[in-house]
Amino acid sequence: MWIVKGISLGTGFFVVGTICFLLLTVFRPISTSKATGITVLTGMTTQNPFFWAALVACLVLGVCLVASWPVPVKL
């Protein structure tokens, strides 16, 4: 069960990080009357090797955090 919790936590880290990354690098510098093409979004995400490295790092971090969390002892 801790693996599922860790993957869920890592996925949450990754989703929040991706949204923040895209907001700060793609959407923030553009004025409100401009549009962003889909090629920019795919170039910054799925075609970027750092995107996939960040996914793996977030999943590993989530699993490690949940695995190292102390479990209460039930008597």
pLDDT tens profile 17-36 = 999 998 888 877 666 667 77
Q: What angle, 0 to 180 degrees and rounded to 10, lies between the N-to-C axes of helices 2-22 and 49-68?
A: 140
Is residue 49 in some structural domain? yes
Torsion angle of alpha carbons 32, 34, 36, 37, nearest 10°? 160
Is residue 52 in some structural domain? yes
Q: What is the pLDDT of residue 65?
A: 92
Tokens 């996914």 locate to 55
Q: Based on the structure, what is the number of domains in the chain?
A: 1
Is residue 1 in some structural domain? no
Is residue 75 in some structural domain? no
CA distances from 71 to 12, 21, 47, 61, 66 (A): 21, 33, 39, 18, 10
What is the spatial distance between Cα 27 and Cα 21, in angstroms, rounded to a whole number?
9
Rounded to two decimals, the pTM is 0.81
| DSSP SS3 for 69 | coil
Is residue 47 in some structural domain? yes
**Between residues 68 and 71, the one the model is more confident about:** 68
Which residue range is the domain that position 61 belongs to? 7-68
